[in-house]
């Protein structure tokens, strides 16, 4: 069975947000993933972030491909729009939906197989076009759903459960996202909710292509000694560049400000990201330096996490295409078919 509805009953004193919803109102069906799967922790972080931001569930669209990771939208935001697409094709489906209705918040959920193997081209083009979305890769280094083959993010030399070493070079999705022009790039770990929740909140508030690579151990096929995506390995090699807090523009701002160690990043919608620098030489606005830093630390065997790059004034695909303010799906017949004189003028302007 892949769908178990959750009982609606909950404790009457559960905290509510500005919309009067409890955290439970942002949950989905009961998860059927393996107990302890990192993906379930990411679902919980998404629920937490949307509850805290008081997002109306009907204003969110969640899209995914195929894989254990791509199944997870069933387990969160049960009252939101959802579309479970084809393996590796989530980015183009999301792009199409976003072009039709730019008023929704788009959450693309994918796996390392879904996005770094079969869907690599789709991933790359949605990022370079600046689609306004939160693109989360639940990265376990294997194809969990099809029983644990190495994916394209598995590190060279990492061992499979049967002890066979991976001989191929790994694709680092955050380096690719930065190079491809993503305007908000972070990496986190499913076991680090304190880091992941504000990272997701900042990505939702961001007005461009936001990408989060979240290392998410597969307890069934990739959580053994020799794996570089296991809980133990990630905990030992996690190197956070900053600690992030997200503040909505409506909340009172009380910042424990220590000059030189805290940076406030104001995003286009007025929300604030408060970054406490852990690596004092790290500049979150320098795209090229971020790539160099990631490569240097990777060579030392470290997994760099945190908010890695942000452009607080992103340009999204709608701005590039100069689409009209009204979402395309709300335009009436007169606007969509303005008549032969308008067509004549358009043709003349192109001659």
Ligand X SMILES: Cc1ncc(C[n+]2csc(CCOP(=O)(O)OP(=O)(O)O)c2C)c(N)n1
Q: Which is nearer to ligand SF4, 33 or 209 (CB)?
A: 33
Residue whose C-beta lies closest to ligand SF4: 144
Could you tell me which residues are beta bridge partners of residue 214? 138, 188
Cα atoms in the Cβ-side hemisphere of radius 13 Å centred on 280 = 4
CB-nearer residue toward Mg ion: 213 or 245: 213
Which window, 96-104, 139-147, 177-185, 324-332, contacts Mg ion (CB under 5 A)? 139-147
Q: Please answer whether residues 222 and 216 qualify as being in contact, where contact means their C-beta atoms are separated by less than 8 angstroms.
A: no
CA distance 23 to 348: 55
Q: How many CB atoms lie within 10 A of CB 96?
A: 11
Task: Note whether 112 binds Mg ion by CB under 5 A.
Answer: yes
Which helix (H) or strand (E) covers residue 276, if one does?
strand 272-277
Distance in Å, CB of 242 to ligand X, minimum:
27
- 87 contact choice in ligand SF4, ligand X, Mg ion, none (CB below 5 to 8 Å, kind-dependent): ligand X
Classify strands 272-277 and 262-266 as parallel, antiparallel or unpaired: antiparallel
Q: Interface with ligand X includes 208 (CB under 6 A)?
A: no
**Contact flag: residue 40 with ligand X (CB under 6 A):** no
- 221 contact choice in ligand SF4, ligand X, Mg ion, none (CB below 5 to 8 Å, kind-dependent): ligand SF4
- Is residue 37 within 8 A of residue 68, CB to CB? The reply is yes
Tell me: does residue 112 bind ligand X (CB under 6 A).
yes
Q: In this chain, which residue has its C-beta nearest to Mg ion?
A: 111
Contact of 216 with 39, CB cutoff 8 Å: yes
Nearest-5° angle of CA 110, CA 108, CA 183? 110
Q: Does 32 bind ligand X (CB under 6 A)?
A: no
Nearest CA among 53, 60, 105, 104 for reference residue 81: 60
Question: Can residue 51 be called a binding residue for ligand X (CB under 6 A)?
Answer: no
Q: Which residues here bind ligand SF4, judged by CB under 6 A?
A: 33-34, 37, 39, 68, 140, 144-145, 218-221
What residues line the site for ligand X (CB under 6 A)? Answer: 66-69, 87, 111-114, 118, 138, 140, 142-146, 151
What residues line the site for Mg ion (CB under 5 A)? Answer: 111-113, 140
């Amino acid at each position: 069975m892949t769908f178990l509805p959750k009982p609606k009953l909950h404790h009457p004193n559960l905290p509510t947000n500005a919309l009067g919803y409890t955290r439970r109102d942002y949950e989905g069906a009961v998860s059927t993933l393996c107990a302890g799967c990192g993906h379930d922790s990411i679902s919980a972080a998404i629920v937490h972030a949307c509850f805290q931001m008081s997002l109306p569930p009907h204003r969110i669209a969640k899209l995914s491909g195929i894989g254990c990771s791509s199944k997870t939208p069933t387990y969160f935001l049960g009252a939101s729009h959802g579309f479970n697409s084809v393996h590796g094709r989530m980015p183009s489906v999301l792009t199409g939906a976003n072009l039709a209705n730019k008023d929704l918040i788009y959450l693309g959920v994918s796996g390392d197989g879904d996005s770094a193997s079969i869907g690599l081209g789709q991933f790359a083009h949605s990022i370079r076009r600046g689609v306004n979305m939160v693109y989360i890769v639940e990265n376990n280094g294997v194809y969990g759903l099809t029983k644990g083959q190495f994916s394209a993010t598995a590190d060279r030399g990492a061992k499979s459960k049967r002890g066979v070493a991976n001989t191929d070079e790994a694709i680092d999705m955050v380096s690719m996202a930065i190079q491809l022009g993503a305007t908000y790039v972070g990496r986190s770990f499913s076991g680090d909710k304190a880091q992941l929740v504000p990272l997701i909140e900042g990505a939702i508030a961001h007005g461009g292509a936001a990408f989060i690579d979240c290392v998410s151990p597969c307890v069934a096929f990739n959580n053994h000694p020799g794996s570089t995506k296991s809980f133990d390995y990630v905990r030992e090699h996690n190197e956070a560049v900053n600690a992030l807090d997200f503040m909505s523009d409506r909340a009172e701002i009380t910042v424990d400000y220590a000059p030189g160690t805290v940076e406030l990043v104001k995003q286009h919608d007025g929300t604030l990201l408060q970054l406490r620098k852990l690596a004092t030489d790290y500049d979150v606005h320098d795209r090229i330096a971020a790539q160099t830093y990631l490569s240097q630390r990777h060579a030392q065997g470290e997994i760099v996490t945190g908010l890695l790059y942000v452009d607080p004034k992103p340009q999204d695909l709608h701005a590039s295409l100069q689409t009209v303010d009204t979402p395309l799906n709300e335009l009436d017949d007169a606007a969509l078919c303005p008549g032969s004189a308008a067509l004549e003028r358009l043709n003349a302007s192109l001659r």
